[in-house]
Amino acid sequence: MSRFDPNFTDNVINSMGPRTSPRFRQLMTGLIRHVHDYARENELTVDEWMAGVQMLNWAGRMSDDKRNEGQLMCDVIGLESLVDEITFTLASEATDAPTATAILGPFFRADTPFRANGDSIVRTPPAAGDGQMAFMHGRVVDCQTKKPLVGATVEVWQACTNGLYEQQDPAQEEFNLRGKFRTDQDGRYSFYCLRPTPYPVPDDGPAGKLLQMMDRHPFRPAHIHIIATYDNYKPLTTQIFDSKDKYLTNDSVFAVKDSLVVDFLPRANDPQAGLELQYDVKLVPAPAE
Amino acid sequence: MSRFDPNFTDNVINSMGPRTSPRFRQLMTGLIRHVHDYARENELTVDEWMAGVQMLNWAGRMSDDKRNEGQLMCDVIGLESLVDEITFTLASEATDAPTATAILGPFFRADTPFRANGDSIVRTPPAAGDGQMAFMHGRVVDCQTKKPLVGATVEVWQACTNGLYEQQDPAQEEFNLRGKFRTDQDGRYSFYCLRPTPYPVPDDGPAGKLLQMMDRHPFRPAHIHIIATYDNYKPLTTQIFDSKDKYLTNDSVFAVKDSLVVDFLPRANDPQAGLELQYDVKLVPAPAE
C-alpha cells in the first residue's frame, strides 16, 4: 500500500485525545484502520464513496419509531447476526448450553401487553383462507438444573400472512400477533398463534437497493420472535424457524441456527388449531454482580 | 478467530447472485469482510453496534440540501481526504505534477454565479473590525506545457469570519463569499476575498458527538475552496491553506497537504486590500476518450 501516504491512518488515529475512553479508543482505532484499508485496497473512488454516503443518509431519513433502516442495512450484510453470535459465544463459554440467541430485528415493540396463557395472539384474522392456526406451548427452565422457572416472561411476535407486522399494516389491530405471557407454577406458557410464513424485508429503501444490487432476494424464512426474561437470569432474544421453510438456508438476514429450527406437528381434537409446537426455553443464570 | 463460525462471512459474501456487477461485488465483498473482521476483532456488543446504527440514522435525519452529516462523519475519520488522495495518486501516476487535490467538503453549491475578474466575493462585510481583505490572483496553466488556459473556470468559496458559510447564516447575502471566474486571454483570474479564518465544523450532530468522544477539537485551518475546470482537462477540486494558521497540523478533517499551503503577503497602494495572494492552478489534460 506504499503508493499512498503510509502515515495517514496513524495520523487520524493519533489525533484522538487523552480523554477518549479506552473502549471507545479501541473501537475507533479498529474502525478507522478497517475503513482506510478498505478504501485503499479497493481504490475507492469519490463517486463510489459519495454513493455510500447517500445510502446512509437515505437510511436515516427513512428511519422513525416504526422503522429502523440503518439496522436493516446492517442485517442484510449479516452484521446483526454476527454481533449476536459474538455475544452468544462469549456468554456460553462459561456455561452449559442455553437456548441459542438470534437477532431482535427491527419490529420489536417495547410496549406489548400481557395476555393469559392459552389466549390467542391472533386478534385480527388473516385474509380468508390464509394462515394455519397453531398451539405453541412449552416450559422456561434453568439451562443447567432444568428446573422450571415460575413467573418467567415469554414475549412473542410474528408477521401476518401478508408479510407485515402490525405496526406496518393499518388493517391489523394494534398488538395483533404479539403478546407477553407469564409461566405458571410448572414453568409453562401457552398460546395460539399462526404458523409463521416467509416474508420479504422492506425493500423500498437503501437496504432493498443493496439487496437488488447484490442480486439477492429479500425473503426471511418463516419465524416467530421470542424474548424470555427471568430475575437473575440473562435475558434471551431469539427466533424459531419452521423446518419446512424454503428460505431456511438463505435467510436474507442470516439469522438461522440449526438449534432454532422447529417442527410444527398435527394437533388433533382442537377446534382452535390444527397444528402444535412444543418449545422449551433454556435460560442461563446471570453472574452475581 | 476460530471461536466464531468460520463460514459465516463467506456465506454472506457468497449469497450475492450472478447478476451483481463485478465492481459492486468487489466493493461489497471487501466491505462485508472488513465489517465482520472488525466486529470479531473487537467483540462488538449488541449495545455498541446499536449505538453506531443510531448515530448513522441521526446523520441521515440531519442531512438535507444544505447539510450532509453523513459526509461530515466520513470527514472526521479522514475518509474523504483518503479517497481524495487515492484519486489524486492514481491520476498523477501517469502525468507531471498537477495541483494537488483536496476534499470538496459539504458546503459546495452547484449554482454559484459568475463574477467579473477583479470583482469582490465579499458581498456582506463581516462584523465591524473582523476580517482582512485580500486580493487573490493567478493563472490557470497546463501542468506539463505551462501554457495558460484561456477561458478556464475558477470557482471559489470560503467561510465568513464567524465560521459560517452563507447557506448556514441568514445574515449573509446569498452567494456571499462565493464566485466563479473565467480566465482572461493570458489565463489570469483575480478577485477580492477575505483572508480565510479557522472555524469549527458543525458539532451539533453525530459528527460532533464523535469528535467529542474522541477528545478532538472540531476546527479546520483557514482555507479557500477552489474548483478549476477547462475543456479536455481533468477538473480539479482543492483547498489552499494559510501558512500562518494554528490548526495547519491538526485539521479536523485531515485535508492539508504541504503543496496546498500558501503565504498571504502585504499589498501596498490598494485601498481595497492590505494583503495579496498569488496562486497558479495547474491542470492535467484528460485522457482522450
Pick from B3, B61, B86: CB nearest A4: B86
In this structure, the answer to whether residues B33 and B120 fall within a common structural domain is: no
Q: Is residue A193 part of a domain?
A: yes
How far away is chain A from the Cα of B208, in angstroms, using its nearest Cα?
13
In this structure, the answer to whether residues A158 and A233 fall within a common structural domain is: yes
- Output the pLDDT for position A288: 66
Average pLDDT over residues B139-144: 94
Q: Confidence class of residue B97 from pLDDT cuts 50, 70 and 90?
A: low
Q: What CATH number does residue A141 fall under?
A: 2.60.130.10
Chain B interface mutation, best of A10, A34, A201, A238, highest count of B Cβ atoms under 10 Å: A34
Whether residue B1 has pLDDT greater than 60: no
In percent, the amount of chain B with pLDDT more than 70 equals: 97
- Output the pLDDT for position A95: 62
- Output the pLDDT for position A89: 84
Q: Is residue B264 part of a domain?
A: yes
Is B30 in contact with A38 (Cβ distance < 8 A)? yes
- Output the pLDDT for position B218: 94
Please name the residue of chain A whose CA is at the shortest distance from the CA of residue B72: A53
A233-247, B94-108, B248-262: which has the minimum mean pLDDT?
B94-108
The DSSP code sequence of chain A is -TTS-TTHHHHHHHTS-TTS-HHHHHHHHHHHHHHHHHHHHTT--HHHHHHHHHHHHHHHHH-BTTB-HHHHHHHHTTHHHHHHHHHHHHHHTTSS--PPP----TT--TTPPB--TT-BS--SPPSTT---EEEEEEEEEETTT--B-TT-EEEEE---TTS--GGG-TTSPTTTTEEEEE--TTSEEEEEEEPP--EEPP-SSHHHHHHHHTT---EE--EEEEEEE-TTB--EEEEEEETT-TTTTS-TT----GGGEE--EE--S-TT-SEEEE--EEE-BPPP-
Dist CA A28 CA A108 (whole Å): 29
Q: Confidence class of residue A90 from pLDDT cuts 50, 70 and 90?
A: confident
Average pLDDT over residues A150-179: 96
Pick from A27, A57, A93: CB nearest B70: A57
Pick from B16, B27, B214: CB nearest A48: B27
In this structure, the answer to whether residues A246 and A143 fall within a common structural domain is: yes
A34-38, B89-93, B259-263: which has the minimum mean pLDDT?
B89-93
Average pLDDT over residues B133-141: 98
Q: Confidence class of residue B2 from pLDDT cuts 50, 70 and 90?
A: low
Is A56 in contact with B61 (Cβ distance < 8 A)? no
Please name the residue of chain B whose CA is at the shortest distance from the CA of residue A39: B83
Max CA distance (Å), chain B = 74
In this structure, the answer to whether residues A188 and A110 fall within a common structural domain is: yes
Please name the residue of chain A whose CA is at the shortest distance from the CA of residue B28: A214
Q: Confidence class of residue B135 from pLDDT cuts 50, 70 and 90?
A: very high
C-alpha cell at B57: 440514522
Nearest to A218 by CA among A206, A230, A233: A206
Pick from A41, A90, A93: CB nearest B30: A41
- Output the pLDDT for position B89: 84
Contact indicator for B53, A207 with CB cutoff of 8 Å: no
- Output the pLDDT for position A94: 65
| Residues of chain A neighbouring B56 (CB-CB closer than 8 A) | 56, 59-60, 70
Average pLDDT over residues B248-264: 92
| Residues of chain A neighbouring B82 (CB-CB closer than 8 A) | 4, 8-9, 36, 39-40
Contact indicator for A207, A75 with CB cutoff of 8 Å: yes
Q: Confidence class of residue A97 from pLDDT cuts 50, 70 and 90?
A: low
In angstroms, the first-to-last Cα distance of chain B is 47
Dist CA B188 CA B280 (whole Å): 9
Average pLDDT over residues A71-96: 85
List, for residues A9-19, the tens digit of each pLDDT value. 999 999 999 99
In percent, the amount of chain A with pLDDT more than 90 equals: 79
Chain B interface mutation, best of A3, A40, A53, A216, highest count of B Cβ atoms under 10 Å: A53
Whether residue A1 has pLDDT greater than 60: no
Quote the mean pLDDT of chain B.
92
- Output the pLDDT for position A78: 93
| Residues of chain B neighbouring A36 (CB-CB closer than 8 A) | 78-79, 82
Quote the radius of gyration of chain B (alpha carbons, Å).
Answer: 22
- Output the pLDDT for position B38: 97
In this structure, the answer to whether residues A14 and A82 fall within a common structural domain is: no
List, for residues B159-199, the tens digit of each pLDDT value. 999 999 999 899 999 999 999 999 999 999 999 999 999 99
C-alpha cell at A60: 436515516
Whether residue B96 has pLDDT greater than 80: no
Give me the total of CB pairs closer than 8 Å, taking one residue from chain A and one from chain B.
212
How far away is chain B from the Cα of A48, in angstroms, using its nearest Cα?
9
Pick from A18, A30, A61: CB nearest B61: A61
The DSSP code sequence of chain B is -TTS-TTHHHHHHHTS-TTS-HHHHHHHHHHHHHHHHHHHHTT--HHHHHHHHHHHHHHHHH-BTTB-HHHHHHHHTTHHHHHHHHHHHHHHTTSS--PPP----TT--TTPPB--TT-BS--SPPSTT---EEEEEEEEEETTT--B-TT-EEEEE---TTS--GGG-TTSPTTTTEEEEE--TTSEEEEEEEPP--EEPP-SSHHHHHHHHTT---EEPPEEEEEEE-TTB--EEEEEEETT-TTTTS-TT----GGGEE--EE--S-TT-SEEEE--EEE-BPPP-
Q: Confidence class of residue B119 from pLDDT cuts 50, 70 and 90?
A: very high
Q: Is residue B94 part of a domain?
A: yes
Is A38 in contact with B34 (Cβ distance < 8 A)? yes
Is B21 in contact with A61 (Cβ distance < 8 A)? no
Is A71 in contact with B63 (Cβ distance < 8 A)? no
List, for residues A184-215, the tens digit of each pLDDT value. 999 999 999 999 999 998 889 999 999 999 99
In percent, the amount of chain A with pLDDT more than 70 equals: 97
In this structure, the answer to whether residues A258 and A140 fall within a common structural domain is: yes
- Output the pLDDT for position B187: 98
In this structure, the answer to whether residues A17 and A116 fall within a common structural domain is: no
| Residues of chain A neighbouring B221 (CB-CB closer than 8 A) | none
- Output the pLDDT for position B21: 92
In this structure, the answer to whether residues A34 and A80 fall within a common structural domain is: no
Average pLDDT over residues B145-166: 96
How far away is chain A from the Cα of B127, in angstroms, using its nearest Cα?
33
In this structure, the answer to whether residues A117 and A22 fall within a common structural domain is: no
| Residues of chain B neighbouring A90 (CB-CB closer than 8 A) | 43
Q: Confidence class of residue B270 from pLDDT cuts 50, 70 and 90?
A: very high
Q: Is residue A128 part of a domain?
A: yes
How far away is chain B from the Cα of A50, in angstroms, using its nearest Cα?
8
- Output the pLDDT for position A93: 72
**What ipTM did this prediction achieve?**
0.83
| Residues of chain B neighbouring A35 (CB-CB closer than 8 A) | 34, 77, 79
Dist CA B106 CA B168 (whole Å): 11
How far away is chain B from the Cα of A215, in angstroms, using its nearest Cα?
5
Is A49 in contact with B83 (Cβ distance < 8 A)? yes
C-alpha cell at A26: 479501541
- Output the pLDDT for position B145: 93
How far away is chain A from the Cα of B156, in angstroms, using its nearest Cα?
20
| Residues of chain A neighbouring B58 (CB-CB closer than 8 A) | 60
Q: Is residue B62 part of a domain?
A: no
List, for residues B196-225, the tens digit of each pLDDT value. 999 998 889 999 999 999 999 999 999 999
Quote the mean pLDDT of chain A.
92
In this structure, the answer to whether residues A26 and A151 fall within a common structural domain is: no
Is A85 in contact with B4 (Cβ distance < 8 A)? yes
Whether residue B140 has pLDDT greater than 60: yes
Average pLDDT over residues B239-267: 94
Give the residue numbers spanning the domain of B268. Answer: 73-283
Q: Is residue A215 part of a domain?
A: yes
Q: Confidence class of residue A100 from pLDDT cuts 50, 70 and 90?
A: confident
Domain tally, chain A:
2
Whether residue B289 has pLDDT greater than 60: no
Q: Confidence class of residue A112 from pLDDT cuts 50, 70 and 90?
A: very high
Nearest to A158 by CA among A122, A186, A129: A122
Whether residue B77 has pLDDT greater than 90: yes
In this structure, the answer to whether residues A165 and A214 fall within a common structural domain is: yes
Q: Is residue A57 part of a domain?
A: no
Is B71 in contact with A50 (Cβ distance < 8 A)? yes
Dist CA B288 CA B231 (whole Å): 12
Q: Is residue B53 part of a domain?
A: no
In this structure, the answer to whether residues A165 and A265 fall within a common structural domain is: yes
Contact indicator for B148, B102 with CB cutoff of 8 Å: no
